[in-house]
Amino acid sequence: MSESFASTPQEAAAWRDALDAQGKRVVFTNGCFDLLHAGHVRYLAEARSLGDALIVALNGDDSVHQLKGPGRPVNTAGDRAEILCALEAVDRVTVFDEPRVTGLIRTIRPHVYAKGGDYTVETLNPEERSALEDVGAEIHILSLVEGRSTSSLLRKVQSGEDPDPDGKLRLAVLGSGYGSNLEAILHAIDEQVLDARVALVISDVADARILTVAKNHNIPALWIDPGNSGAGLSAAAQKEILDRLRGAQVDLIALAGFMRIVKEPLLSSFAGRILNIHPSLLPKYRGLDAWKKALEAGEKESGCTVHVVDAGMDTGSVLAQASVPILEDDTPATLHARIQRQEHSLYPRVIAGYAAKLLAGEP
Ligand code: GRF
């Protein structure tokens, strides 16, 4: 990348010290700033107004790819740094490739930290929050400018129109069965607990109720022939699912009782953007009929887990869990029903939190 527009963390720290010696306050914010739009410009101007100078920590190219998925970043880190430096509000840019800005905060020691989105001080990443507290930075949460997002711009460019001009996160739900989690997600959207749109529902089972639920809500619903691959999906099915997800301009995938293992090319195309709900307290009882296994093992409690999907079976990083007691007279059916009640409340809330984080990374 072009070195001239980005400072090293040490250069940025020396710059901060020089300003501090003049009694000036440095504001720090971070983000991808991949395809600059008016929302970014307004956000950066507001951040800059909190102090005397603004430094932007810019996600490096690998980290933008991880966060934003296929085709991103549109602009390289060098170009993004150059564009940001041309803005009146921005005084310095530094590029980082670590997952968090904790190290940068400790090196640069900003006076003010600005973050966009649905965060509160309490929901900031704990490591970053304690680094901010250690360096004595004031924390400000700025609201993002509604209806302006890079994802929405890209949708417009790709399809000639934006299916979601209001900038809502586009969710796909994949399931093989009854679809009660889909119903819970739709209910959460109606209740404004979850700010998203279900853009597509896919099933590997032609007569699965989940497809009917989708159709009754006027959501595009699609059966994909899984091929003869046992618990897997044929290569053709994996590819078709990916094509359909891309065609529907999906941002995030929620697996809800999808009885097939998700593989490439889907996995890496949506890395970090596929969630699953599993009816056990992972890491216990991965795989099929998890509630039966918990009952047979004489457990006193079970529950459900929402996790990010990786290449293993129910092995991805855990986002949240809810537990339920196992009662003396429980049958597999009564226990599963109790777990599912927790699923219906947990899954939409976790999706909402994850979606807000994806969008909040939007700068
Ligand atoms: C849920 O119990 C989920 O944990 C499991 O499959 C079931 C799906 O139920 N993976 P539904 O189709 O959402 O009603």
Report the separation in Å between the CA atom of 94 and the middle of ligand 1, taken as the mean of its atom positions: 44
Task: Name the strand (E) or helix (H) holding 275.
Answer: strand 274-278
Inform me whether the pLDDT recorded for 63 exceeds 90.
Answer: no
Residue-wise pLDDT tens digits, 121-131:
777 888 999 99
Instruction: Give the whole-angstrom CA distance, residue 262 versus residue 229.
Output: 12
Cα(257) to ligand 1 centroid in Å equals 4
User: Mutate which of 180, 198, 260, 276 to test ligand 1's pocket (most atoms within 8 Å of Cβ)?
Assistant: 180
pLDDT digits (tens, 9 = 90+) for 305-318: 999 999 988 999 99
Phi-psi region of 184 (alpha: psi -120 to 50; beta: other; left: phi over 0): alpha
What are the start-end ranges of the E strands in 76-213?
92-96, 112-116, 138-142, 169-174, 196-203
Tell me the CA–centroid distance for residue 260 and ligand 1, in Å. Answer: 13
278 is an active site residue: yes
Which protein residues are within 6 Å of ligand 1, measured from CB? 175, 177-181, 210, 256-257, 277-279, 304, 340, 343
**Mean pLDDT value across the chain:** 90
In the predicted model, is pLDDT for residue 361 greater than 80?
no
Ligand 1 atom closest to Cα of residue 182: 13
Residue of the nearest CA to atom 6 in ligand 1?
Answer: 257
Other C-beta atoms lying within 10 Å of the C-beta of residue 239: 14
- From 201, 280, 343, the mutation candidate for ligand 1 (largest count of ligand atoms within 8 A of CB) is 343
Ligand 1 centroid from CA 131, angstroms = 40
1: pLDDT confidence band, cut at 50, 70 and 90? very low
Q: Which atom of ligand 1 is nearest the CA belonging to 343?
A: 4
Q: pLDDT value at position 308?
A: 95
Q: What is the mean pLDDT of residues 162-171?
A: 77
Q: By percentage, how much of the chain surpasses pLDDT 70? A: 93
| Antiparallel, parallel or unpaired: β 252-255 and 221-223 | unpaired
Would you state the torsion angle of the CA atoms of residues 35, 36, 40, 41, taken in this order, to the nearest 10 degrees?
180
The string of pLDDT tens digits covering residues 324-337 is 999 999 999 999 99
pLDDT at 151 exceeding the cut of 50:
yes
Instruction: Specify the range with the lowest mean pLDDT, choosing from 54-63, 213-222, 224-233, 270-279.
Output: 224-233
Q: Read off the pLDDT of residues 210-232 as tens digits, 9 standing for 90 and up.
A: 999 999 999 999 999 998 767 77
Protein residue with least CA distance to atom 8, ligand 1: 257
> Which of 212, 116, 238, 220 has the alpha carbon at shortest distance from 171?
220
Write down the pLDDT at residue 2.
41
C-alpha 271 chain-centroid distance? 10
Rounded distance from Cα 350 to ligand 1 centre (Å): 16
pLDDT higher than 70, residue 13: yes
Ligand 1 atom index nearest CA of 258:
10
pLDDT value at residue 228: 73
Give distance in angstroms: CA of 217 to centre of ligand 1.
Answer: 19
Taking phi over 0 as left and psi of -120 to 50 as alpha, with beta for the rest, 198 belongs to: beta
| Residue percentage of the chain with pLDDT more than 90 | 67
Ligand 1, residues 286, 340, 344: which to mutate, most atoms within 8 A of Cβ?
340
Give residue 95's identity as a one-letter amino acid code.
Answer: V
pLDDT, position 154: 77
Active-site residue identified among 65, 111, 278, 336: 278
Q: Measuring from atom 14 of ligand 1, which residue has the nearest CA?
A: 180
